[in-house]
Chain A
Amino acid sequence: MEQLYTKTSPQCKLVTASEETVRFLLDYSKSLSIVEADGMTIENNLN
């Protein structure tokens, strides 16, 4: 069992989301405006 812990390198690949996706999320965040009025939530995407 010890071998299972210590002698095996991670098989899972380390990956990151692309810079394009990150940029999209940041732009999405900047453009998203959420307004609450009369108990209603309104989402505005101001592109």
Chain B
Amino acid sequence: MELQIDDSALVQDYISGDERALETLIHRHNQRITSFIYSKVMDRDAAEDIFQDTFIKVIKTLKKGNYSEEGKFLPWVMRIAHNLIIDYFRKNKRMPKFEGGEDFNIFSVIGDDRPNIERQLIKDQIDSDLNLLIDELPDDQREVLIMRIYKDMSFKEISESTGVSINTALGRMRYALINLRKIIQKNNIVLTNY
């Protein structure tokens, strides 16, 4: 079994001058960070730019010796990415939109080897409806829900990434689910695969 060097050791190696440690860190977290950014900006090029800017900040901070090992590396990088996403929207003065495009299609078919096309269509419709419902949630609740359900992050990671306590993150998740139920009931929406 291959032993994985933990992030904090890699960060220390990098600070000590080992450039390969940075390569390992980038490759290890590339998909998670880029997907997180992409899930917010829904634009492939913008996601790539923000990822690049995020790591430029990471590199500068580490080289300046300003990084403190108080939190974990990944939540710290996610916070930087999060702030850059906010800057991106401020700069562009627009809110994220779910719309068709080259990189994202709301009706895109999710890979599935089940042969039943009818169930696939129903499933797509539910996913699409659910996205619209989630879009109705307040920002803080939507953010926690997406991190928990779609990104599979623990509440500890969510709290570190968003800068709130675990209890607050739990509370936001609870209210997100309560509000989703309310929206579903209010609009008589049926979300079922059967």
**A in complex with B:** yes
* Given A1-B177, A3-B191, A9-B110, residue A21 in contact with residue B51 (CB < 8 A): yes
Within 8 A of B (CB), among A18-40: 18, 21-22, 24-26, 28-30, 32-34
Which residues in B have their C-beta under 8 angstroms from that of A34?
A: 60, 63-64
B168 proximal to A (CB < 8 A): no
B52 in contact with A11 (CB, 8 Å): no
Contact partner of A1 among B26, B181, B193, CB < 8 A? Answer: B181
Chain B nearest CB from A18 CB (Å) reads 6
Interface residues on B, range: 35 or more
A17 in contact with B34 (CB, 8 Å): yes
Tally chain A residues at the interface, Cβ within 8 Å: 29
In the bound assembly, the distance between CA atoms of A29 and B104 in angstroms comes to 32
Q: Is the interface of A mostly helix, strand, loop or mixed?
A: mixed
Q: Which residues of B contact A (CB under 8 A)?
A: 19, 22-23, 26-27, 30-31, 33-35, 38-39, 44, 47-48, 51-52, 55-56, 59-60, 63-64, 103-104, 110, 112, 123, 126-128, 130-131, 146, 149-151, 177, 180-181, 191-193
The 5 closest A-B CB pairs, nearest first, are A17-B51, A12-B39, A34-B63, A16-B31, A12-B150
